[in-house]
Amino acid sequence: MKPPSNQTTPCASTMPKSSRHIRFPGKTRPNPSTELDAFACLRESLPKRVHRLANRRARTACVFVFIILISSLWCYSADVVFIRSAGTTSSEQRELELATQFYGVNLNVVTAGDNTAGSALREVQRKGTLAVAIEANALALVNREALLRALHREPHGSVPLLVLGVTSEAGPSALSIWSGGAAVGVQHLENQPGLRYVVGHVAGITQQLTDLEIPFPGNDTFYFALAGDQKAQEVLAVRNDHQDVPVFIEAELGQQKIFLLCKTHPAGDNVLEGNANNVQTAFAELAPVMMFIKYGVGERGWHALHHYANLTIDDPWLREPYGDLSYQGLLKEMEKHDFHTTIAFIPWNYDRSEAQTIALFRSHPERFSICIHGNDHDHKEFESLERKPLNTQIGDLKQSLARMEKFQALTGIRYDSVFVFPHSIGTESILEELKTYNFLATVNSSNVPMDRSQPSAPLFALRPVTLSFGGFPSISRYTAGMKDPNDFLGINDFLDNPLFFYTHHDFFASGIGAFDGMADAVNRIEPDTRWRNVGDIVKHLYLMRLRDDSNYDVLAFSNSVELENTSERDLDFEVTRPELGSSTVASVSVDGRDYPFELRGGGLSLRVPVRAGGTRSVVIQCKNDLDLASINPAHDSVRVDLLRMVSDYRDITLSKYQAGRAITDYYYKHGVTPLLAIAFGSTLILFGLGGAWSLWIIMKKKNPVGGSTDVLTKDRVARAAGRG
Ligand SMILES: [Zn+2]
């Protein structure tokens, strides 16, 4: 793997310096005698590898490397066998390496030759072999009948076979023999800009990608000429302005399922080594091979149990309406179109909630939820350490928790300690502090801290969550206003990635149904999508794979994990949470009780039995100095008070008027100029005078009893607490 471009620090902080293996005994350790296999092997092998890695300057890639290690280098006997000819490594092999790493299975590379045919077949026959790929230029070195026999599994099954890298050098007769007569030739499509993949509809393999168009990486490809009798199913075609040509097909050779894939990068022009900066580009590079490997390895590869999605709206507090956002209206849309909304709540607003909206949230926890959005939200609150020292930022984190606890006490609405940074993600150092103070995760438009660059590892862009920074789960989210989202949604669903969307109140200026189309698209592409609060999604953010002993490995990204046994038999889950050092862990509990765990290779692991159909809750707590009782949640800065007042004015008052919206838009496009400041100030004064005049008229008419802001605050608190 190529190291990232911004390596500045070694990964010593995230990897052990020696082969440390610490065991923490506990009273309730379940069935210790069954601890075996993969982890025993890991103990022997991982520290040495990790130690070698520590010498590299690849901090941002370290966790990623770690995940690859635990994915594919444990003594895990699930293999994909790749049969190739002698000579240089092909781009097809590189694609297979990446796809098998992603799914956490081994790639067993066998070079075919006159003297090695027997050993290649023995590898194919092995019980742990889940799928076999063979390079087209090695077909002549393999006895077809013997290979088919080796692929056979009693009583009726067989291991799927992929022939890849097919070019026009494959003669028509060989092609016909290996495709069961489905393909009769191969042709070349050259110099065609703007090509797209078109995904077919093939059971078990195209899944959520079915019928989608996704970008094709390159300008030329080989493609199949098919026999007219429709013996082949088209998994992927490539489309230009005139035609669709099949490049990836499925055919039958008797009982054997065989996939054939043309060489799609004839010029060797793929960008596998790290230019992909989004999931679509990264996936397009590997699409056919990822589809085959996922199909071939099934439960034995890393997969998620469910699909999750969430819409988060940043900034509002609980009043009806907040600018263009009507909570009442949104609830109706959520019920009709089946989605869930989280408010990224500014803790400064902790004591301002209105009773009616509180009641709405409390009676619909399945539709509304709360997470934490900064503390004061004074512009980019968590910024570079030069501009704002780490200690001050830590103080803000602690106060955000104290305020949210107060919010929860006042309103009876629980919150998720998932942190959304105001404006954009902070530094890696503050991510480490989020871990220390037991936040669950951070979700932002980028998962890469402001003082780091995206690692160039080719697989990085394929998952929205990373532990590469401070060992804390950092998750990407996406704008709710995304245009033509189908390929993006299909690819993420195919990869088992959760979908986090975000927006602001003004997204609903066009109508409260503004998100309905996106929710419908998500639910259409993956009907089993679970719309949940962000806390729930983070607790289910883990990958599983079936082990040789019929239990499951679990790769957890968060310190809180809700294990679910959806099977009909009792299971043990071998849970690993990478990137937790012994100095940081204060306790580990399962269902609220202390639980034994082990620390090794910089990560934490434990074995948790879960009954059929049952769930168990794992919580890892880090050591810290948090003392909520000692933190004053009250507003403590006139500057912040004024800023929040202006923000309210912008969102709640200005947004009602065309001129007000224009000023706000201008501000966000151009920042504050003297002219804008004058225009904004004048508008504020005008609206202020207007408001004061109206208030004076109303007061005069009603002859009210006196009231102070203090009374109003108390009234809000009282209503918030359900006392009035
Ligand atoms: Zn915000």
Helix/strand/coil (H, E, C) string of 436-447?
HCCCCEEEECCC
Q: How many residues does the chain have?
A: 724
Mean per-residue pLDDT, 587-595: 98
Distance 442 CA to ligand 1 centre (A): 14
Distance 371 CA to ligand 1 centre (A): 12
Tokens of 701: 């008419």
Q: Is the pLDDT of residue 233 over 50?
A: yes
Say what percent of the chain tops pLDDT 90. Answer: 66
In angstroms, what CA-CA distances link 189 with 167, 224, 245, 598, 684? 11, 11, 9, 55, 62
Rounded to the nearest 5°, which phi and psi values hold at 616?
Answer: -140, 145
pLDDT tier for residue 679 given thresholds of 50, 70 and 90: low
Distance 379 CA to ligand 1 centre (A): 8
CA distance 463 to 303: 12
In angstroms, what CA-CA distances link 333 with 326, 572, 609, 643? 11, 41, 40, 32
Tokens of 54: 């520590």
Distance 129 CA to ligand 1 centre (A): 50
Helices 59-72, 37-54: axis angle to 10 degrees equals 150
pLDDT per residue over 368-413, tens digit each?
999 999 999 998 899 999 999 999 999 999 999 999 999 999 999 9
pLDDT of residue 69: 43
Distance 162 CA to ligand 1 centre (A): 49
pLDDT of residue 418: 98
pLDDT of residue 666: 72
pLDDT of residue 692: 62
CATH class label, 79-299: alpha beta
Query: Quick one: 344 exposed, middle or buried, by C-beta within 10 A (0-12, 13-18, 19+)?
Result: buried
Residue with more model confidence, 694 or 216: 216
Distance 470 CA to ligand 1 centre (A): 23
pLDDT per residue over 500-536, tens digit each?
999 999 999 999 999 999 999 999 999 999 999 999 9
Distance 336 CA to ligand 1 centre (A): 27
Distance 452 CA to ligand 1 centre (A): 22
Residue recorded with tokens 């079936």: 546
Distance 378 CA to ligand 1 centre (A): 9
Distance 676 CA to ligand 1 centre (A): 21
List alpha helices for 135-255, DSSP H.
Answer: 144-151, 172-178
Distance 443 CA to ligand 1 centre (A): 12
pLDDT per residue over 109-125, tens digit each?
999 876 667 788 999 99
CA distance 594 to 618: 10
Distance 507 CA to ligand 1 centre (A): 14
Q: Cis before residue 485, ω within 30 degrees of 0?
A: no
For residue 542, give the amino acid letter: Y
Q: Cβ(305)–Cβ(540) under 8 Å?
A: yes
Distance 511 CA to ligand 1 centre (A): 21
pLDDT tier for residue 230 given thresholds of 50, 70 and 90: confident
| Bridge partners (DSSP) listed for residue 251 | 258
pLDDT of residue 355: 98
Mean per-residue pLDDT, 192-219: 94
- CATH second-level architecture of 307-539? Alpha-Beta Barrel (3.20)
- Taking alpha carbons only, the member of 280, 196, 188, 287 closest to residue 241 is 196
- Taking alpha carbons only, the member of 91, 147, 82, 143 closest to residue 110 is 82
Distance 38 CA to ligand 1 centre (A): 45
Can you say whether the dihedral through the CA atoms of 179, 183, 188, 189 is positive or negative?
negative
CA distance 113 to 141: 6
pLDDT of residue 694: 61
pTM: 0.83
Q: Is the pLDDT of residue 433 over 70?
A: yes
Distance 422 CA to ligand 1 centre (A): 5
pLDDT of residue 18: 29
Distance 289 CA to ligand 1 centre (A): 40
Distance 668 CA to ligand 1 centre (A): 13
pLDDT of residue 88: 87
CA distance 214 to 236: 10
- Taking alpha carbons only, the member of 87, 227, 93, 218 closest to residue 164 is 93
Mean per-residue pLDDT, 336-363: 98
pLDDT tier for residue 719 given thresholds of 50, 70 and 90: very low
Tokens of 713: 């605050």
Strand 196-199 relative to strand 183-189: parallel, antiparallel, unpaired? Answer: unpaired
Distance 306 CA to ligand 1 centre (A): 29
pLDDT of residue 516: 98
Mean pLDDT of the chain: 84
pLDDT tier for residue 695 given thresholds of 50, 70 and 90: low
Highest mean pLDDT among 9-13, 36-40, 243-247, 705-709: 243-247
Distance 420 CA to ligand 1 centre (A): 8
pLDDT of residue 259: 97
Beta strand spans in 142-201 (E) = 161-166, 183-189, 196-199
CA distance 607 to 610: 10
Distance 380 CA to ligand 1 centre (A): 9
Distance 309 CA to ligand 1 centre (A): 20
Q: Is the pLDDT of residue 547 over 70?
A: yes
Lowest-pLDDT choice from 157-166, 232-241, 324-333, 672-681: 672-681
Distance 374 CA to ligand 1 centre (A): 8
Q: Cβ(554)–Cβ(104) under 8 Å?
A: no
Distance 504 CA to ligand 1 centre (A): 8
Distance 315 CA to ligand 1 centre (A): 5
- Taking alpha carbons only, the member of 589, 540, 529 closest to residue 562 is 540
Q: Is the pLDDT of residue 644 over 80?
A: yes
pLDDT of residue 633: 94
Distance 345 CA to ligand 1 centre (A): 8
Distance 647 CA to ligand 1 centre (A): 10
Mean per-residue pLDDT, 65-73: 43
Q: Is the pLDDT of residue 270 over 80?
A: no
Q: Is the pLDDT of residue 37 over 50?
A: no
pLDDT per residue over 444-489, tens digit each?
999 999 999 998 888 999 999 999 999 999 999 999 999 999 999 9
Distance 424 CA to ligand 1 centre (A): 9
Distance 239 CA to ligand 1 centre (A): 42
pLDDT of residue 697: 63
CA distance 372 to 38: 38
Please name the fold of domain 543-629: Immunoglobulin-like (2.60.40)
Distance 665 CA to ligand 1 centre (A): 15
If DSSP codes are grouped into helix, strand and coil, which group holds residue 287?
Answer: helix
Tokens of 582: 């012994």
In angstroms, what CA-CA distances link 91 with 263, 274, 289? 9, 14, 11
Half-sphere exposure of 118 (CA within 13 A, CB side): 1
**Helix/strand/coil (H/E/C) assignment for every residue in 12-56:** HHCCCCCCCEEEECCCCCCCHHHCCHHHHHHHHHHHHHHHHHHCC
Distance 105 CA to ligand 1 centre (A): 41
pLDDT of residue 696: 64
pLDDT of residue 42: 31
Contacts for 668 with CB less than 8 Å, ≥ 6 apart: none
Name the CA radius of gyration of the chain, rounded: 29
pLDDT tier for residue 571 given thresholds of 50, 70 and 90: very high
pLDDT tier for residue 148 given thresholds of 50, 70 and 90: very high
pLDDT of residue 700: 60
CA distance 497 to 500: 9
pLDDT tier for residue 653 given thresholds of 50, 70 and 90: confident
Distance 155 CA to ligand 1 centre (A): 59
Domain with CATH 2.60.40 in the chain: 543-629
CA distance 339 to 361: 15
